[in-house]
């Protein structure tokens, strides 16, 4: 076996009370694609940031091309030949496609000035290899996420890399683009480049990689050739459960019962449209029902959630809450989150750091935030009622903290998510919208939240569940709406719900669209 391109030896990394990595070792060999899998919060991102120099390990070492190494930052790592493609597109949306591709390495003429003509030409040629034909002069931000991601790939691969790290690269890719990525990886392997492929999608592991390492709660729980590992074993390793247990009870903590919809819906959203993201989406939710929204990144799931909650305006469509109340209507200027809350809706947003928690405020302040109007008397807050509310929910949701006065920033991801849940549950809503409720949190908290959703639904709460983890949608939802390009392309009920059916619905729709497009051209 050739010497390893990259060796990570027993590294550990701690952030305050949270131990993100604990004695992790990993080896990348030239010409080999190595899968790094684990649940959200297992430590994959931290490991990558450690390798690329964003963080320093507290303990342990790294060897690159045989030499011990400690990178000062991403620039250093890049210069040394470690190229990274991130899950979020880390390009500059205001700059042109070509500009992004060549940032820092723009071709210059004899005078040292940038030659835009050359840059644009080279950009077009490079992107053609990826099957992308766009106007390279337009700002990157105008393109769909999938294309942006491919451009990020193109940029990362245009340097002389020896190691390429891909962090969940397919989260925004169409099946066709995934095929292209597979070809790209094949090319890299033939060039004896080592690929670290981070994902939580097991199909990709079996399709693309030769070795696999499984992380759980910051530790390596399994490492070996892909050929020797079965799918169930991988899932079990990821979750820390028995293989037999997983086979029988599924991968999540959702119960197996499905609730059927009965009676009239407590929430009815009709024909929500907002160009270009939403194209006539209709959703209805009954009491005690969990409705799942499935779809690729960019399909309009979050936009639907925000439109229902009044967080974003719509061009047309309406939202009806409760048996008789009719609110919303045309350009819902008065349909705001405040109004939605008053009518019994609640939402836990997708990105808790950006739109959810207020880091500097205490846990208590965060929890009671939405309930302020109900806790005030003559403009003053009732301390007593606040504390009551906080105590109730901290206990009920099992939020781990040292004191309710603690800054919410200091809590772990899972507990922060629980705080956001508590904030909405304070209001005793009739319908709760959950956008990626278990993203980026540890396995334990994840199980708790999934069980909680079940419990709440059992008590009559209507839930709209959005998740990129298909197994969550499959096991948690009573009914699934599959979204594509802002429209509902398929509805699955009860036993119809399966990962295969959902993927098929997404793919089939994209095949249709491709046919239509080529049909228009001919």
Partner 1 sequence: MTVQAIGHRERADVLKLLEAAGVYLAIVLLMLFNLAFTPHFATVTNLRLQLVQVAPVAIVAVGMALVIATEGIDLSVGSTMALAAALIPLYIGYGAGPAIVIGLLAGVAVGLVNGGLVAFAGIQPIIATLGLLVAGRGVALVFANGRLVELFDPTLGALGNSAVLGVPISVLVVFGVAVVAGIAMRRAAFGRRVLAIGGNRAAAALAGLPVKRTLLTVYAVSGCLAAVAGVLSTARQGASDPSFVGLLIELSAITAVVVGGTPLSGGRVRIVGTLMGALLMQLITATLIQHNLPDSTARMVQAVIIVVAVYVQRGRSRA
Partner 2 sequence: MTTVANPPTESGHGARRLSPDSLAFWIRRASAPVVLAIVLLAGSVVFGGRFASALNFGNIALDSSYLLLIATGMTLVIVSGGIDLSVGSLLALSGVLTAYASRWGSLPAVLVPLGVCALFGLANGLLIGRARIAPFIVTLASLLFARGLAFAVSNEGNHVYIIPAKTVLTRLGQARLLGLATPVWFALAVFAIGLVLLNRSRFGQAVFAIGGSEEAAELMGLPVARVKILVYVLSSVLTGCAGVLVAAQTQSGLPTIGEGRELEAIAAVVIGGTLLSGGTGSLSGTLAGVLLLKVIQNLINQVGTLNAYYQQVVSGTFLIVVVLIQSRLARRRLR
Residue 75 sits in the site that holds partner 2 (CB under 8 A): yes
Q: Which stretch binds partner 2 (CB under 8 A): 72-80, 190-198, 373-381, 417-425?
A: 72-80
Q: How far is the CB of 336 from partner 1 (least distance, A)?
A: 8
3-state secondary structure 480-510: EEEEECCEEEEEEEHHHCCHHHHHHHHHHHH
The beta strand positions in 79-193, using DSSP E, are 82-85, 163-167
Residue 59 or 511: the one with the smaller Cβ distance to partner 2 is 511
Residues 123, 155: contact at Cβ < 8 Å? no
User: Which member of 30, 43, 99, 476 binds partner 2 (CB under 8 A)?
Assistant: 99
Cα 143 to Cα 148: distance, rounded to the nearest angstrom: 6
Identify the CA nearest to 146 among candidates 182, 171, 126: 171
Cα 90 to Cα 85: distance, rounded to the nearest angstrom: 8
Q: How far is the CB of 149 from partner 1 (least distance, A)?
A: 24
Residues 269, 281: contact at Cβ < 8 Å? yes
Q: Which stretch binds partner 2 (CB under 8 A): 86-94, 336-344, 347-355, 424-432?
A: 86-94
Site of interaction with partner 1 (CB under 8 A): 12, 14, 58-59, 309, 311, 336-338, 340-342, 347, 349, 354-361, 365, 369-370, 372-373, 375-376, 379-381, 423
**Which of the choices partner 1, partner 2, none does residue 58 contact, using the CB cut-off of 5 to 8 A by kind?**
partner 1
Residue 152 or 394: the one with the smaller Cβ distance to partner 2 is 152
**Which of the choices partner 1, partner 2, none does residue 9 contact, using the CB cut-off of 5 to 8 A by kind?**
none
Cα 54 to Cα 47: distance, rounded to the nearest angstrom: 10
**What is the CB neighbour count within 10 angstroms for residue 219?**
17
Applying the rule CB under 8 A, the residues between 126 and 155 that interact with partner 2 are 128-129, 131-134, 138-139, 141-144, 146-147, 155
**Which of the choices partner 1, partner 2, none does residue 309 contact, using the CB cut-off of 5 to 8 A by kind?**
partner 1
Q: Which stretch binds partner 2 (CB under 8 A): 96-104, 204-212, 233-241, 326-334?
A: 96-104
Cα 26 to Cα 370: distance, rounded to the nearest angstrom: 45
CA 181 to chain CA centroid, Å, is 19
Residue 114 or 361: the one with the smaller Cβ distance to partner 1 is 361
Helices (H) and strands (E) in the chain, counts: 18, 21
Applying the rule CB under 8 A, the residues between 355 and 414 that interact with partner 2 are none
The three-class DSSP label of residue 183 is: helix
The three-class DSSP label of residue 190 is: helix
| Cis before 58? omega within 30 | no
Residue 420 or 505: the one with the smaller Cβ distance to partner 1 is 420
The beta strand positions in 139-190, using DSSP E, are 163-167
Residue 113 or 379: the one with the smaller Cβ distance to partner 2 is 113
Cα 80 to Cα 161: distance, rounded to the nearest angstrom: 8
CA distances from 27 to 24, 65, 207, 484 (A): 10, 11, 20, 39
Applying the rule CB under 8 A, the residues between 283 and 302 that interact with partner 2 are 298
Q: Which stretch binds partner 2 (CB under 8 A): 88-96, 314-322, 361-369, 490-498?
A: 88-96
Residue 306 or 364: the one with the smaller Cβ distance to partner 2 is 306
Residue 73 sits in the site that holds partner 2 (CB under 8 A): yes
Give the interface with partner 2 as residue ranges (CB under 8 A): 73-75, 78-79, 84, 86, 90-95, 99, 103-104, 106, 108, 112-114, 128-129, 131-134, 138-139, 141-144, 146-147, 155, 174, 176, 180, 183, 276-277, 298, 484-485, 510, 513-514, 516-518, 520-521
């Amino acid at each position: 076996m050739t010497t390893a391109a990259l060796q990570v030896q027993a590294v550990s990394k701690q952030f305050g009370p949270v131990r993100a990595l604990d004695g992790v070792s990993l080896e990348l060999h030239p010409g080999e694609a190595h899968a790094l899998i684990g649940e959200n919060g297992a430590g994959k991102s931290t490991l990558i940031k450690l390798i690329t120099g964003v963080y320093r390990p507290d303990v342990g070492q790294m060897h690159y091309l045989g030499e011990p190494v400690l990178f000062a930052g991403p620039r250093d790592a890049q210069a040394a030949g470690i190229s990274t493609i991130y899950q979020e597109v880390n390009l500059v949306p205001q700059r042109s496609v070509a500009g992004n591709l060549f940032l820092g390495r723009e071709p210059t003429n004899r005078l040292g000035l940038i030659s835009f003509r050359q840059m644009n030409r080279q950009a077009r040629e490079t992107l053609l290899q990826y099957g992308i034909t766009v106007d390279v002069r337009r700002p990157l931000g105008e393109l769909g996420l999938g294309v942006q991601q491919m451009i990020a790939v193109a940029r990362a691969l245009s340097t002389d890399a020896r190691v390429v790290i891909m962090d969940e690269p397919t989260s925004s890719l169409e099946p066709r683009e995934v095929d292209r990525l597979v070809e790209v990886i094949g090319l890299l392997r033939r060039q004896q480049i080592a690929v670290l492929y981070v994902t939580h999608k097991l199909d990709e592991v079996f399709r693309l990689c030769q070795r696999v390492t499984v992380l759980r709660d910051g530790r390596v729980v399994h490492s070996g050739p892909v050929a020797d590992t079965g799918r169930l074993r991988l899932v079990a390793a990821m979750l820390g459960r028995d293989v037999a247990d997983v086979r029988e009870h599924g991968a999540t903590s959702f119960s197996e019962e499905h609730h059927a919809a009965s009676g009239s819906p407590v929430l009815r959203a009709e024909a929500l449209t907002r160009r270009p993201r939403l194209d006539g989406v209709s959703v209805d939710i009954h009491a005690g029902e969990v409705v799942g929204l499935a779809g690729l990144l960019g399909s309009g799931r979050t936009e639907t959630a925000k439109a229902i909650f009044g967080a974003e305006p719509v061009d047309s469509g309406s939202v009806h809450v409760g048996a008789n109340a009719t609110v919303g209507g045309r350009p819902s200027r008065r349909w705001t989150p405040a109004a939605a809350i008053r009518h019994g809706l609640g939402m836990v947003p997708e990105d808790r750091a950006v739109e959810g928690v207020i880091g500097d405020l205490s846990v208590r302040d965060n929890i009671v935030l939405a309930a302020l109007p109900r806790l005030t008397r003559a403009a003053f807050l009732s301390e007593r009622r606040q504390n009551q509310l906080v105590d109730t929910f901290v206990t009920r949701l099992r939020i781990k903290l040292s004191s309710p006065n603690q800054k919410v920033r200091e809590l772990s991801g899972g507990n922060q998510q629980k705080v956001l849940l508590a904030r909405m549950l304070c209001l005793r809503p009739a319908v709760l919208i959950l956008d990626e409720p278990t993203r980026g949190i540890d396995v334990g908290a994840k199980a708790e939240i999934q069980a909680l959703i079940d419990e709440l639904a059992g008590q009559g709460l209507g839930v709209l569940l959005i998740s990129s983890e298909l197994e969550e949608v499959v096991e948690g939802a009573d009914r699934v709406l599959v979204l594509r390009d802002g429209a509902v392309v398929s509805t699955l009920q009860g036993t119809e719900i399966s990962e295969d059916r959902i993927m098929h619905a997404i793919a089939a729709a994209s095949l249709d669209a491709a046919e239509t497009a080529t049909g228009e051209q001919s």
